[in-house]
Amino acid sequence: MERGVYCVLQTPLNDDDSINQQEFMREIDWLIQRGVKGLVLAMASEVMRFTAAERRSQWKLALQYINGRVPFIVSVGGESTAIATKLARWAELDGANALMATAPAIFPATSSEIYGYYAAIIESIQIPLIVQDASNYMGQPLELELYGNLIQKYGTDRVQFKPEAKPVKERAVALQQIAQGKAKIFEGQSGLDLLDTHPLGLMGTMPGSEIPWAIIKLWSALEENEFDKAIAIHAVVAQLVSFQQNIDSYVAVEKYLLAKQGIFSSTHQRGPVRTILSGETKREIDQVFEKLVQITNY
């Protein structure tokens, strides 16, 4: 897979909670046309609110429509090793290019059990696995020792990382030290930590799908050492991320902006949800969005 921006797909829903397939395909086309390096189904895609059968049906639809235009990464995390390994085998069989997995969050587990969980997923497949620490939203931070043990056994091509626990930069630095600078790391805070983590040799960033044009320009500015430009774009991106304090608010803001840009016709989420955007919040988001349009010349 190439280095760059890998957008996490939002899932457009009908009022009956079914997937709006036409709008899902429109989103995929729009993101590819914007220049993303890959697409991802993950937590912000609401996968945790779908049954295993629904998750498989969705990624098969995406794979069929993407048709090899860009790499496709599928999240297979679950609350048990049995669930995660079954999803992993299905996704590899169906054609995913790589997988990603969060650790179980509902049931506390020991460090050795979490290692066993990830090792079982890795050994059930041949494609790469991205270990996602999503403890900003769910569960506990993964121990750095876990990363080291997985790298030592499986190498830096087969096991990759998306560290989101705070402090992100310091943990990413420690991870690269463990891997002797060879760790393949994805930033995962909607571009919020890109200024700090890009110099560490990132594989890419995994923002949402609502402002790909802005995150791609931010990434490109950093790649080209245009730091003033990157800082200016990042400042406005950070303002937008300030509205996204939990996973439901991430989804709400992303769907709102996708609808604003004509990609979705509805902002419907599967409930129950923690965050519902007020009219005043939407107006504030609109103001930040317009600033982002102006500063990126979109």
Average pLDDT over residues 137-146: 87
Over residues 171-195, the pLDDT tens digits come to 999 999 999 999 999 998 899 999 9
3-state secondary structure of 59: helix
Which architecture characterizes domain 4-296 according to CATH? Alpha-Beta Barrel (3.20)
> pLDDT tens digits, residue range 79-99?
999 999 999 999 999 999 999
Is the pLDDT at 140 greater than 90? The verdict is no
Least trusted range by pLDDT, from 170-179, 208-217, 257-266:
170-179
41 secondary structure, DSSP code: E
Note the pLDDT of residue 201. 93
> What pLDDT, on a 0 to 100 scale, did the predictor assign at position 269?
98
Residue 136: pLDDT band (50, 70, 90) is: confident
Q: Say how many C-beta atoms besides its own lie within 10 A of residue 105's C-beta.
A: 16
| Predicted model pTM | 0.97
Q: Which pLDDT does position 295 carry in this prediction?
A: 98
Contact 271, 17 (CB under 8 A): no
Encoded tokens for 102:
């969060």
**Domain layout of the chain by residue ranges:** 4-296
Half-sphere exposure of 35 (CA within 13 A, CB side): 11
What confidence score (pLDDT) does residue 132 get?
96
pLDDT digits (tens, 9 = 90+) for 277-293: 999 999 999 999 999 99
DSSP state of 221: H
3-state secondary structure of 185: strand
Q: Are 144 and 177 in contact (CB under 8 A)?
A: no
pLDDT value at 45 more than 90: yes
Residue count of the chain, please give it.
298
User: Which one is predicted more confidently, 245 or 5?
Assistant: 5
Provide the strand spans (E) within the chain.
4-8, 38-41, 72-75, 98-102, 129-133, 159-163, 186-187, 204-205
Strands 129-133 and 186-187, sheet pairing: unpaired
